[in-house]
Structure 1
């Protein structure tokens, strides 16, 4: 007897979530389909009922961050929609560069967690990654609407947030990790206000 469509969608979602966590921890090349399926509590044979390739799964795992990131999850739990674009942008900066997000590797944004992997990946993962960049830029551009050089400043905000996290992840010095993110946060907030 075939599974209901809802079952297939839930199973696919479990696979994507497992892949996203494993890719964040280990990178694309180091994670096998067998590992993803085991993490999801499934067998390898079921993989091809949901995905054509590991690249397709990778692209979906990257894209899934838009709805599953700590910022979106917190907003959904609070049940409030932030109407003020500046407040939304400020909250995003503060959360993105926070200790809580930094310490939770499973929730790391692909923009800083997978940048090297995606640069070597195929077109599907790169397109998903590009959409995340555009989405984050859009949040900042909306906050800066009507300001001089809004597009350039929005892209600088994305660069500060992502760059601050990339650099913080590369060092074993806890003080430097914290100060890199704090500096990026201060500059980003100043750009939003200026």
Structure 2
């Protein structure tokens, strides 16, 4: 008896979630399809029913962060959506650069967890990565509506948040980890001020 379309959607989601976690922890090159499928509780043969290639799966894993990240979950729980764009943008900066997110590798955003991998990846993963950058920038631009240099400010805020986390992840000095993120947070929030 064939599986239902709903079962196929759920299975695909399990594979994507398994891949996202493993890619975050080990990187694209270090993770095999066998590892991904085993972590999803499936056989390797099932992979090709859902994806054409590891690159396609990688793109899906990067894109999935839009719905499984702490910010999306928190805003959905708070039912805030885009009612208060300034508050939403501040919350994104605070959460993105938080200890909670830094300490939980499974929650790491591909923008700072996987930049080297994506730079070497194919067009699909790069497009998914680009969409994440644009999505984050959109939240900041919306908060800066009416500000003459809103686009530049929004891109600078993205760079501060992502850069702050990239550097914080690479140092073994806890004090530096904290101060890098605090400096990025301070500057990003200063850019949000509409004068």
Whole-angstrom distance in 2 between the partners of 1:81 and 1:72: 9
Q: Could you tell me how far 1:79 is from its partner in structure 2?
A: 3.5
What is residue 27 of structure 1 aligned with on the other side?
Answer: 27
Q: Could you tell me how far 1:136 is from its partner in structure 2?
A: 0.4
Listed one character per residue, the Cα deviations across residues 95-145 of structure 1 (whole Å, up to 9, x for unaligned) are 000000111100100000000000000000000000000000000001111
What is residue 113 of structure 2 aligned with on the other side?
Answer: 113
Whole-angstrom distance in 2 between the partners of 1:92 and 1:71: 6
Listed one character per residue, the Cα deviations across residues 66-120 of structure 1 (whole Å, up to 9, x for unaligned) are 1111000112233343401111100000000000011110010000000000000
Whole-angstrom distance in 2 between the partners of 1:109 and 1:164: 12
Whole-angstrom distance in 2 between the partners of 1:82 and 1:5: 33
Matches within 5 A, 1:59-98: 59-98=59-98
What is residue 18 of structure 1 aligned with on the other side?
Answer: 18
What is residue 182 of structure 2 aligned with on the other side?
Answer: 182
Matches within 5 A, 1:114-129: 114-129=114-129
TM-score using structure 2 length: 0.97
What is residue 37 of structure 2 aligned with on the other side?
Answer: 37
Whole-angstrom distance in 2 between the partners of 1:68 and 1:28: 19
Whole-angstrom distance in 1 between the partners of 2:173 and 2:68: 29
Gaps of 5+ in 2: none
Gaps of 5+ in 1: none
Over the residues paired in the alignment, what is the CA RMSD in angstroms?
0.8
What is residue 169 of structure 1 aligned with on the other side?
Answer: 169
The count of corresponding residues between Structure 1 and Structure 2 is 194
What is residue 58 of structure 1 aligned with on the other side?
Answer: 58
TM-score using structure 1 length: 0.98
Q: Secondary structure of the equivalent of 1:49?
A: coil
What is residue 145 of structure 1 aligned with on the other side?
Answer: 145
Whole-angstrom distance in 2 between the partners of 1:117 and 1:28: 6
Moved more, 174-183 or 73-82: 73-82
Listed one character per residue, the Cα deviations across residues 6-58 of structure 1 (whole Å, up to 9, x for unaligned) are 00000000000000000000000000000000000111110000000000000
